[in-house]
């Protein structure tokens, strides 16, 4: 099974920059997006053969997630019960026979770190949620998680220590999650691979010079590790300041 996750940074703009070409070419079983920046009825996507599930933010032009899947889930849920999470459209969970898929757009702690405290509370709630799901069946957790976990995951680690997305607190929350029975699929397969990034600033020539951060992930339950076939970063795909990431895994989607 092939899964894709992509922060599209505004789906309507991304569609105008080739989103559908990539979508058709990659032919994923499940395609997750973050930061759709849409309200209900603002776009009509004709995606033949796919079920569509959307979580819209209440605030216009902000946040939002969606999942497009060839395989109808047993159930779909939104958020983890917190009103703010629902208002920002950040979480969609699809239940299948043999696993849960959780698509997430993690809140940014902001440049001045004014949202860091809220972000850390979010991380604890989400980790508890994933652990509870994992007790029932394995979890595939993906999305823009807004953290570069290790120094290898961003170009200029030393100069970014303490900055949003690379604070000790955010990195420790990722470590704690992984210590709770989960793995970072890309690092599981490619522990030493550097210069592999999923987000680049829009500043001049930054992407051309590959000065980036790896902040988009597929995290899975540790017991799924033997079934992971590949984890890729499609940095050649344009249309957003993020690029898509892919997971190939042998798992039953029935």
Digit-coded pLDDT (tens) for 195-215: 999 999 998 899 999 999 999
Q: What is the pLDDT of residue 123?
A: 96
Its pTM stands at 0.97
CA angle (207 as vertex; 205, 212 as ends), nearest 5: 125
* CB environment 220-251: b (16+ within 10 A), e (fewer): bbeebeeebeebbbebebebbbbbbbbbbbeb
144 given a catalytic annotation: yes
Q: What is the pLDDT of residue 252?
A: 76
**Number of helices and strands in the chain (H, E):** 7, 14
96 given a catalytic annotation: no
Residue ranges, the chain, pLDDT below 50: none
Catalytic residue among 105, 141, 197, 217: 105
Determine the Cα–Cα distance for residues 251 and 122; give it in Å rounded to an integer: 29
Q: What is the pLDDT of residue 125?
A: 95
The gap between the terminal CA atoms of the chain, to the nearest Å, is: 11
Q: What is the pLDDT of residue 151?
A: 98
Catalytic residue among 144, 153, 184, 216: 144
Q: What is the pLDDT of residue 80?
A: 86
Beta-carbon contacts of residue 42 (< 8 Å; ≥ 6 apart)? 12
Q: What is the pLDDT of residue 25?
A: 98
Residue 41 has what DSSP assignment?
T
Q: What is the pLDDT of residue 83?
A: 64
Tell me the C-alpha to C-alpha distance, in Å, between residue 68 and each of 6, 126, 193, 244.
12, 22, 30, 14
């Amino acid at each position: 099974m092939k899964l894709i996750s992509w922060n599209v940074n505004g789906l309507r703009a991304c569609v105008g920059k080739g989103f559908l070409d990539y979508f058709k070419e990659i032919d994923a079983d499940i395609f997750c997006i973050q930061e759709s920046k849409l309200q209900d009825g603002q776009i009509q996507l004709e995606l033949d053969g796919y079920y569509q599930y959307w979580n819209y933010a209440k605030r216009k032009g902000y946040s939002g997630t969606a999942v497009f899947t060839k395989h109808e889930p047993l159930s779909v849920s939104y958020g983890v019960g917190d009103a703010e999470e629902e208002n920002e459209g950040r979480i969609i969970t699809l239940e299948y026979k043999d696993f849960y898929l959780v698509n997430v757009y993690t809140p940014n702690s902001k440049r001045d770190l004014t949202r860091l405290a809220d972000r850390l509370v979010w991380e604890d709630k989400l980790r508890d949620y994933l652990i509870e799901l994992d007790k029932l069946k394995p979890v595939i957790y993906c999305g823009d998680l807004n953290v570069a976990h290790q120094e290898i995951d961003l170009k200029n680690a030393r100069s970014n220590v303490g900055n949003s997305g690379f604070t000790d607190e955010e990195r420790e929350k990722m470590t704690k999650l992984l210590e709770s029975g989960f793995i970072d699929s890309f690092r599981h397969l490619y522990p030493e691979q550097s210069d592999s990034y999923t987000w680049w600033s829009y500043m001049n020539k930054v992407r051309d010079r590959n000065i980036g951060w790896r902040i988009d992930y597929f995290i899975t339950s540790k017991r799924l590790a033997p079934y992971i076939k590949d984890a890729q970063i499609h940095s050649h795909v344009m249309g957003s300041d993020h690029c898509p990431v892919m997971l190939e895994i042998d798992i039953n989607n029935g």
